[in-house]
Amino acid sequence: MERMGYVNQPYIVFKHTDIERTHIHIVTVCVGLDGKKLPDSYDHPRSMAICRDLEQTYNLIPATEKQRTGNEQVFRPVDYRAGDVKSQIASVVRHLPKYYGYASLGAYNALLSLFNITAEEVKGELHGQPKNGLVYFALNEQGEKASNPFKASLFSKQAGLDELQNQFAKAKGKMKADPVRALLKSTIEVAMHTATNEADFKKQLLEQGTNAVVRRNDEGRIYGMTFIDHESRTVWNGSALGKNLSANVFNDWWNGQAVGQRQEAENATAQNQSSTTDNTVEKEEAHSLFNFLNKEQQTDDLLIDGLGGLLPEAQGEDYEEQEFANRMKKKKKRNSRHLRAN
């Protein structure tokens, strides 16, 4: 605290043992007794350097060398350039969504966007009957589709539209009465009053364990604001939290700032590259909030092993292929009964 410049500040230290890696949190205030904000430039690299010194002084295990067994499944963003995109999407879609509550496809996509994935509803007809489905895409750094579509049936029943709509309905009822709603709304409102711009707003919320996902159209207008609270594992549309947190409010706020700053931007390409970098950093920082999945996923894997490979997922087969095989077996049985009857 002394080396970070907070030696005279009030603070609280508490220990967390809710995940496999025991750790502590230190909470303090960044405004001094004189009412001025304490300098926080390069606070992250400075704190990392201090941590390395403490590790050496007290002979601690360096955090950079912790538990690299090579067997853990780490949930990371999909890299459309790395190949095997289908498996990358499957590792996220099969496990991540079941831990979170979300009441709409937009909220579901906000969660998936942190892993460079989006889901899109498709409509059509089969034998004259209307059919709806869902396809998944990998996204690039700009949030644009960067892969061929993958049908939800390639992953699991839970990834399909029917099952998701059931989850939406259940989540709406639970979230309406959830006390987290008022607390999250208050946290966002505080950030709105203290943040200087969009990046600062997102950073402040991320420090509180909340992601702010902003959706813009091709013209740059904000049409969706979604907040992912990792403490309660719930995903909220801004308008569901309050009218003052709707997309229009943020659009007027940030676009108004953009107009005032437009003359300072001399190179549009450099701006786009900077925006891409900020989004990438934001997503990387956010993934520390998903660490609980690595531990819980190991439990899931043990359960699958215990079933002796009876699950299609454990055998490495497509859910769609398994369904097709089951339909063929049923058809074969019907044909056999028909032949015996004749």
Name the pairing type of β-strands 117-126 and 23-28. unpaired
> Does any domain span residue 284?
no
Report residues of the chain scoring pLDDT below 50: 18-20, 66-73, 259-263, 265-274, 277, 284, 298-318, 320-321
Q: What is the DSSP letter of 226?
A: E
Report which of 107, 112, 163, 162 is spatially closest to residue 138, judged by C-alpha positions: 112
Q: Would you state the pLDDT for residue 109?
A: 94
185 and 255 part of one domain:
yes
**What's the pLDDT at 146?**
92
H-type alpha helices, 145-241: 161-176, 180-194, 198-207, 238-241
Residues 163 and 185 in one domain: no
Domain for residue 74, yes or no? no
- Are 138 and 212 in contact, with CB atoms under 8 Å apart? no
If asked whether residues 143 and 224 sit together in one domain, one would say no
One domain, residues 94 and 166: yes
Q: Is residue 163 part of a domain?
A: yes
- Is 80 inside any structural domain? no
pLDDT of 18 reads: 46
> Distance between CA 154 and CA 152 in Å, rounded?
5
Q: Which domain holds residue 26?
A: 11-64
Domain total of the chain: 4
User: Domain boundary at 110, 144, 176, which?
Assistant: 176
Q: Which two tokens stand for residue 25?
A: 């949190």
Mapped onto helix, strand or coil, the DSSP state of residue 108 is helix
Interior angle at CA 144, CA 141 and CA 254, nearest 5: 75
104: nearest Cα among 236, 245, 210, 244:
236
H/E element, 278:
helix 268-286
Residue 142 domain-assigned (yes or no): yes
In a domain, 148, yes or no: yes
Specify the pTM: 0.60
107: exposed, middle or buried (C-beta count within 10 Å: 0-12, 13-18, 19+)? buried
Q: How far is CA 148 from the centre of its chain?
A: 21
pLDDT at 218: 86
Distance CA 126, CA 219 (A): 36
CB 116 within 8 A of CB 136: no
Are both 57 and 105 inside the same structural domain? no
Q: Does 184 fall in a domain?
A: yes
127 located within any domain: yes
Are 215 and 224 a contacting pair, CB within 8 Å?
A: yes
Instruction: Kindly report the length of the chain.
Output: 342
193 and 158: one domain?
no
Q: What is the pLDDT of residue 255?
A: 79
Report angle CA 137, 135, 77 to the nearest 5 degrees: 30
Whether residues 171 and 191 fall in one domain: no
Between helices 198-207 and 180-194, what is the axis angle to 10°?
140
